[in-house]
Every structure is written in structure tokens, then in C-alpha cells.
Amino acid sequence: MSTTTVAHHDEHHDHPTGIMRWLTTTNHKDIGTMYLTFSLIMFLVGGSMILGIRAELFKPGLQLMNPEFFNQLIGVHALIMIFAALMPAATGFANWMLPLQIGAPDMALPRLNNWGFWILPPSAILLTLPFTLALFGVGDGALATGWTFYPPLSVQGGIGVDFAIFAVHLLGISSVLGSINIIVTIYNMRAPGMTLMKMPMFAWGWLITAFLLIATIPVLAGAVTMLLTDRHFGTHFFDAAGGGDPIMFQHLFWFFGHPEVYILLLPVWGFIPQILQTFSRKPMYGYKAQVYSLWAIGALAVVVWAHHFFTAGMPVPALLYFMYSTMAISLPLAVLFYCWIRTMWKGSMSFETPMLFTVGWIILFGVGGLTGLVLADVAADAQYHNSYFVVAHFHYTLFAGGIMGIMAGVYYWLPKMTGHMYNEKLGKLHFWLTAISFNVTFIPQFFVGLAGMPRRIPDYALQFAEFNMISSIGAFVLGLSQLLFVYIIISCVKGGQKATDKVWEGAEGLEWTLPSPPPYHSFTEQPVVK
Amino acid sequence: MASHSGNHYFVPHGSIYPALISVGLLSMASGFVFNVTGADTRMDGSIKNPALSYLATPGKYMMYIGLAIILVMMFKWLSAVVTESVTGQYKKWEDKSFRIGMIVFICSEVAFFAAFFGALFYMRVLSVPDLASYAPDITPYKDFLSTWPSQGPGGTVLGESYKPNPSFHPMTWSGLPLINTLLLLSSGATITWAHWGLIKNNRKQLVIGLFLTIALGITFLCCQAAEYHHAYTEMGLTLKSGAYGATFFMLTGFHGFHVTIGTLMLIVIWLRSIKGHFTPEHHFGFEGVAWYWHFVDVVWLGLYIFVYML
């Protein structure tokens, strides 16, 4: 096959410097860096919010804040962590690594790419502005409905709900733009010879994520638009007085909300097998089985939404359908787990920080998946619904399965991005601190949840005091150890041992054929994949 | 500077327009919130909603300024794209990117309309009949009528008494909606005719075809405006008329908004056609708009069937 060459409009580094470089950039690496930085900042913002909650829950009774403020902390924490920390982190990796992995000169639609990022800061402002004002005693603060916006509370809420609605609109636009760009890049920018079934798994994970975003984010936009018109223009979508139904909002919201879980996780499932094969020094096990499992999960993701509100009231056939279809997701997921473990099987493994995070991730995410099966059972869910068991479950999937996966990716690719090795000792310390304090935080929450402690309530019965105290201590250790993460990243950007091109002994893939850090414009001549 | 052979992918220079559009979006969104919640300052300096006097922002002007920024920046951005196109920067490879991108974008628009169609089906099939089916002693919605089109509550609901509007009657499928359907369907035909003209390099057919499409689009919008006026003034059908009013106006309203955008895009490619842009081989700008127009057309057919006819 002939080699195709790729040229840039400007071959030289004649891009502007300073702030204008970042405001105007069309370079996928610059945009990826901005996404990742934004994500890290918002991760700390969202994390400090939840420390406020854990401080309040340290002992029974109301100590630090009134219940309204507590509710706002919970809602804004979730929205920030999901939309402003996890999703931008995955998009940042896509920007940095997809073109390198598939041998593309850049993302397919570079200006659109820039716009996708620059919508995020305004939406973060919209999301946090009423909250910040309330901190200074001005106004009545952000939305106090939790991140799910359930009416009628959200219809009656104050100006914070309106701000959150528009924040979600902007975040949605950003996600749709990012998804369009990623789908186009994957379909149109692959190096000659790289067929779809030769793509890196990360590209597969993101391709299916992008399809899920395209199918579900506009539905969320529609749902919050109906909320806005219910609030201000007299429609009756969620008002039974006019023939509407508050539960309809739950259907619309979770039609987006459940696929959102996979939107957060699929990119991670993409690069985790790559990390496993690198540090097991043997090829990925079951590539095809993994691809088909990702597709199966993507397809099932959009038909299982109502398991989030079994207790809201549904006909029995609907309950049964949503229960069985939800449980069906565990089949392709089990295939994935098998492939991940089988990739390590009899490999010559070494445990650098990315691998530590990955192995820890498999175990902890496994706990998240299994507790999800319990919640999918209609009869059991009546007991567990809205309890701390649910909180513990989705933090095992979204913190362990999402953020710890992202951290594995950060350690895996940081030397490639910066050209320096991070501090391995500190990295390992960060892993152990994170993994242990995470479990100290959330294992007690399973127990208090099973014993009946409801979520989203600032006070609790006395018998839950010890477990909550343990959980709060764990949360503060967990939060503070992330400062170590920030320190490791900053010192790695600033300097450190020079990274080789391949960085890891067992690394495979096009991104490792480039220098570390890669040149500003990479693959101006597309490689040919055999 | 690279030579532009077929194997070079065009990566544009840095651009400030996207970031400025985001500033416009922030201004417009927050201005809208201030305006709609009554945190606006009035002409005489007073505030509509005294509870929000701590904000006291010129919300309305923030909206207008934001919208102006967005429009100007989009104009400049798209001008840059057109310039790049006519100077031959886009070859087959870039063209394919635009095509896939446009298809995915239209898919996301389909999902957006699906939310509102979903709300329509849910209320019509589930919640309205349910509300009327409860025994009077267990429901606060005592005199709820399970009729479609439901015009909202009648009788006493949670202590508030609602009077059904005596002049209320639903939209019929004949008359203006039928004319609108014919207008949009024929506009789909005229744009295809214009496309044939472009492919045959018959510029006159292209320009006339586009002009006819624009004229049909604008006529459609005028008819819809007349229909809305009629609904509000004579039929007692408003956005507040319960499940039917909400779904009717939100579905047709968002569709009308998309027709407006589509008409603007048509006007742009019409002017470009007059200037001699587009070649029989290379005219994604035209095709993208045509796809969008057909999408708007198909949404209308769904509306016509599920909102007007059934």
C-alpha cells in the first residue's frame, strides 16, 4: 500500500504564544491538554464540595450547614464530577491519544474541537456561580434537587435550577461537538491499512461512547427544556394538573442517565486492556470478543433506564423487563472481565503505577458491578433504593471504575505527553493511599445503606454514627491524597528523568513510535499499518 | 506551505471565533436566566422580582449582546470556511469528514425531537388516561377528563378550580396544516431539482430551484405564524393548555425554529450559487443544507401524522 502524506497549513511552529495560543488553538494536543487540565481543576472543586458533606456527616446532628446548602453541595458535586471532571478527562485523552493511536495528523474537525472545549468554562461558571454567591451569603444558591433535577422540586426551585439547566445545555452542546469530531476522526482519519478491526481498543471504546452521546445527550437537552418551560412558560409536561407526569421526567432523564454511566466507563474500558497488555508483555486476549462486548453493552445501555426508579411505580411487566435487561448487561461485562484477567494470565507482569491502578481498578470496579446486580433485582431494590448502598455502589463504579481508571491512563501516558517520567515512588504511594482510603470511605456506606440509612439527608440516626465517622475519615484521606496526584503531575510536567520514545518495555501501538513528547504536528506523513 | 495534493489533510490555522461564540453563549444563557426569573432591572430602575434584587442585572441586554456576538462570530467563522472552500483547500478527504460530521449532527437532532415525541406519546397513552381513571376519593384530580386533545385540568385540582376554556378546540389536520405539508413536500422536490441543475451544471436551474425552496420555506413559516395567531386568539389553544397545548407548541415550535435555521442556510447557499460557487463535483455546502432541509421535512411528516392527524 502506498504511503499517503499529510501536510499542515502551517508546517512550522508559527502558532501564537501565551493566552492566544490556548484560546485559538486547533491542535489536538493543545486541546487535549486543556481538557485534562480543566478536568483536574474541576475534580478538585467537586472533591472539596463532597468533603464539606463528609464533614457534616462526621457525626449526627446538624453542625456546619443548613439542609438546603447540604442539598446544593450534593447536586453540584455530582454534576461537576460527571460533566466537568470525568467526561472532559475522557475527551482529553481522546484528543491527545486518538490521532496518535490511529496515525492521524490531527482531529478531523479542528476548529469544532476548539469550540467543544471552550464551551466548558462558561458552563462551569453557570453551574457554580449561584453556589459561589451563596457561599458569600448572596441569594439562595444552586439547585437543591440533586443532579437528577426531579420535578416537582426542580419546578419549584429557585434561580439555581435555571442556571443548572443552561449549564447542562452547554455541556450537552460540548459533548455532541466532541462526539461528532471523534466519530469523524475514527471513520475518516485512520492510517492506511488500519481496518476497523485493527483499531486500538481505546478507539473502539470511544466510538461507542460517542454514539451513545449522540443518541442520549439531546434527549437530556429536551428534558431540561421541558423543565424550563414548565418553570417559566406554563406548560404541563411534569404537572399532573394538566395531564403531565413527574415520572415522565424520570424516564427522559434516565434514558440519558443510564447510558451516561457507560459514556463515563467505555473510554476507560478502551485503554485498560492496552495498559494490561503493556505490563503483562503479551498481546491482548480476545480482541474481537471485547469489541463485540462493547457493542453489546452500548446497545443494552439505551434500553434499561427504568431500573433507576423501580420504586416510582411501574406495571409489573415493565419491572420484569427492566430487571432482566439490566441483568443481561452483566453477560458482556463478564466477557470483558474474563478478557482482562486472561490478558494478565501467565504474562511476565510488572507493577508500575499504571498497572497498579489497573489491577486495583479491576477488583474495585468488579465490586461496583456485582453490587449493581443486587440493585437490578426489583424485589431487593425496594429495600436498597435511595439508601447509602446505592451511593457506595455507584462510587465503586464511577470513582473506582471511572476516576481510578483515568488515573491509570494519566500515569500510562504522562511520560508520552510530557517527555518526562513521573516519580514512580510517589505514584505508587498515591495508588495505595487512594485505594485504601477509597475502601475506608465506601465499604462502611454499604453497611449503613443495608441497615437503612437514606442518602441525601444531612442528619442520621445514632446507630450509624461509627460507620459514618470512619467513612468521613476515609474521605478526607482520599481527598488529601489527590493533592499528591496534583504534585506528581506538576513535577512531571516541569522536569524529571527523560522518557524514551517507547516509555514502557511492553508498549505496542503507533503512539509509542513517536518521540516523547511528540512533535507539535505529528504524523504529517501517515504511517502504513500492515 | 504544503502542496495540496489529494493526500494532504487541511488543518486550519488557530481561530478565535469558537472561544468568542462561547462567551456569547454564556452571556445569552445567563441573560436569559436573569430575564426569565425577573432579576432584570426595569426602565425605571426597579426590579420585577424583588426577591432577586441582589442580582439586578441588565439580563435582556446580556441576551441581545450574547446573541449578536454569536451571530457575528458564526458569520465570520463560516466565511472563513467558505473562503477555504473556494480557494481549494478542501479535497475529497476533508469533504468526507464534513459528510460524516453532518450525518452525525442530524442524528443528534433526531434524538432531540425524539424526546418531545416521547413526551407526546407518554402523556397521550399513559398519563392522561391514568389521571382520569382513578376513583374520585383517591385522587386530587377529581374532574380530570381523559380526552385527547386534553386541554388541561377541569374542575377542582388541589384546591384550585380550573375552568375549561369554552372556545377550546383542537387543531384539525385539514386546512392550514395540510397546506403546510404540501409546501414543505414541494420544497423537498424543488431543492432536489436544484441539485440536479447543479450536477448538470445548469446554473439557472440551480438558482431558480433554490429560490423556489426559500420561497416555500418562508411561506411555510408565515402560515405557521398565522396558525399560532389563530390558536391563541380564536381557538383558546395556548402553551398553557395542558398536555396537548404543551406538546403541540413545543413540537411545532422547535420544528419551526429548525425551518428558520434551514431557510437561513438556504439563503446563504443561494447567494453563493449566484456568486458562482459550487461545482458539479464539489458542493458539500449545498448538500449539507439539502440534507438538513430533508430532515426538517421528515420531522414535519412525523408531526403531521402524530400531532395533527391521529
The C-alpha atoms of residue A315 and residue A313 are separated, in whole angstroms, by 7
Is residue B69 less than 8 Å (CB to CB) from chain A?
no
Task: Please tell me whether residue A5 adopts helix, strand or coil conformation.
Answer: strand
B55 touches A: beta carbon within 8 Å: yes
**Beta-ladder partners of B41:** B47
CB contacts, 8 Å: A108 with chain B: 97, 100-101
Residue of A nearest to B122 (CA): A248
For the stretch A416-426, pLDDT in tens is 999 999 999 99
What does the block give as the cell for B31?
441573560
Asked whether residue A5 carries a pLDDT value surpassing 90, the answer given is: no
Give φ, ψ of A71 to 5 degrees.
-60, -40
Question: Are the folds of B17-89 and B104-309 the same?
Answer: no
Is pLDDT above 60 for A323?
A: yes
Return the pLDDT at B159: 65
Cis peptide before A444 (omega within 30 of 0): no
What is residue B40's predicted lDDT score, i.e. its pLDDT?
A: 77
- The verdict on a CB contact (< 8 Å) between A236 and B152 is yes
With beta carbons less than 8 A apart as the criterion, state whether A171 and A121 touch. no
CB neighbour list of residue A301: distance below 8 Å, 6 or more residues apart: A212, A258, A259, A261, A262, A329
User: What pLDDT does residue B155 have?
Assistant: 63
pLDDT at A3: 43
Provide the pLDDT confidence category of residue A468 given band limits of 50, 70 and 90.
very high
Q: Name chain A contacts of B93, Cβ cutoff 8 Å.
A: 188
Structure ipTM over 0.95, yes or no? no
Contacts B4 to A, Cβ<8 Å: 7
Nearest by CB: B111 against A4, A24, A219: A219
**For residues B59 and B63, what is the distance between their CA atoms, to the nearest angstrom?**
6
Q: Do A235 and B16 touch (CB under 8 A)?
A: no
Residues spanned by the domain of A325:
28-513
Say how far apart CA B24 and CA B72 lie, in whole Å: 10
- In angstroms, the CA A164 to CA A184 distance is 30
Contact A5 B7 (CB under 8 A): yes
Closest residue in B to A12 (Cα–Cα): B1
User: By CA distance, what is A186's nearest residue in B?
Assistant: B97
**Does residue A4 register a pLDDT over 70?**
no
Is residue A524 assigned to a domain? Answer: no
How many domains are contained in chain A?
Answer: 1
Single pTM value for the model: 0.94
Count of CB contacts below 8 A, A vs B?
Answer: 243
Three-state DSSP at A458 gives coil
pLDDT one-digit tens code per residue, A15-60: 788 889 999 999 999 999 999 999 999 999 999 999 999 999 999 9
With contact defined as beta carbons under 8 Å apart, do A9 and B13 qualify? Answer: yes
d(CA A268, CA A403): 9
Rounded-to-integer distance, Cα B304 and Cα B310, Å: 9
The answer to whether B204 faces chain A, any CB pair under 8 Å, is: no
pLDDT at residue B53, as a whole number: 77
Query: A295 lies in a domain?
Result: yes
Residues 6+ apart with CB under 8 A from A137: none
- Whether residue A520 is contained in a domain is answered as no
For residues A220-247, average pLDDT: 93
Look up residue B280 and give its DSSP letter: S
Handedness of CA B218, B220, B226, B229 (dihedral sign): negative
pLDDT at res. B2: 34
Do residue B239 and residue A234 have CB atoms under 8 angstroms apart?
Answer: yes
Q: How far is the C-alpha of B143 from the C-alpha of A141, rounded, in Å?
A: 38
The beta-strand segments (E) located in A319-401 are none
Has domain B17-89 been given CATH number 1.10.287? Answer: yes
- Residues of A within 8 A of B158 (CB-CB) are 241
Tell me if A528 is assigned to some domain.
no
**pLDDT (tens digit per residue) in A291-311:** 999 999 999 999 999 999 999
Residues in chain B with CB shorter than 8 Å from the CB of A106 are 9, 11
Give the Cα separation of B215 and B237 in Å (integer): 28
Q: Give dist(CA A117, CA A181) in Å, integer.
A: 12
List the single best residue of A184, A220, A522 to mutate versus B (max B Cβ within 10 A).
A184
- Please check whether residue A408 lies inside any domain of the structure: yes
Task: Give the per-residue pLDDT at B136.
Answer: 78
- What is the C-alpha separation between A426 and A115, in angstroms, rounded? 36
Going by their DSSP bridges, the two strands B160-162 and B155-157 should be labelled as antiparallel
pLDDT at B175: 87
Neighbour tally for B172: CB within 10 Å: 11
Task: Name the grid cell of B127.
Answer: 398519563
Nearest to A24 among B14, B238, B250 (CB): B14
Q: Enter the CATH code of domain B104-309.
A: 1.20.120.80
The closest CB to that of A118, out of B19, B89, B109, belongs to B19
| Half-sphere exposure of residue A115: CA atoms within 13 angstroms, side-chain side | 24
Confidence of residue A484 (pLDDT cuts 50, 70, 90): very high
| A377 part of a folded domain | yes
Asked whether residue A394 is domain-assigned, the answer is: yes
Asked if B157 reaches chain A (Cβ–Cβ under 8 Å), the answer is yes
Which residues in B lie closer than 8 A to residue A133 (C-beta atoms)? 54
Tens digit of each residue's pLDDT, chain B (310 residues): 233 344 789 989 889 999 999 999 999 999 999 989 888 777 676 777 777 877 778 888 999 999 999 999 999 999 999 999 999 889 899 999 999 999 999 999 999 999 999 999 999 999 988 888 888 788 777 777 777 887 666 666 666 676 766 677 778 888 899 999 999 999 999 999 999 999 999 999 999 999 999 999 999 999 999 999 999 998 888 888 888 999 999 999 999 999 999 999 999 999 999 999 999 999 999 999 999 999 999 999 999 999 998 8
Under an 8 A CB cutoff, do A11 and B1 touch?
A: yes
Task: Identify the pLDDT of residue A530.
Answer: 78
Within a 13 Å sphere around the CA of B174, how many CA atoms are in the beta-carbon half?
0
Q: Which residue of A has its CA nearest to B15?
A: A24
Tell if the CB–CB gap between A221 and B11 is shorter than 8 Å.
no
Is the separation of the CB atoms in A473 and A440 below 8 Å? yes
Helices (H), A419-508: 424-450, 465-494
Domain CATH for A433: 1.20.210.10
Three-state secondary-structure class, residue A516: coil
Mean pLDDT over A332-355 rounds to 96
Q: How many helices and strands, by DSSP H and E, does chain B display?
A: 8, 2
User: Of B37, B138, B141, B111, whose CA–CA distance to A244 is shortest?
Assistant: B141
Which of B54, B116, B127 is best to mutate for the A interface (most A CBs within 10 A)? Answer: B127
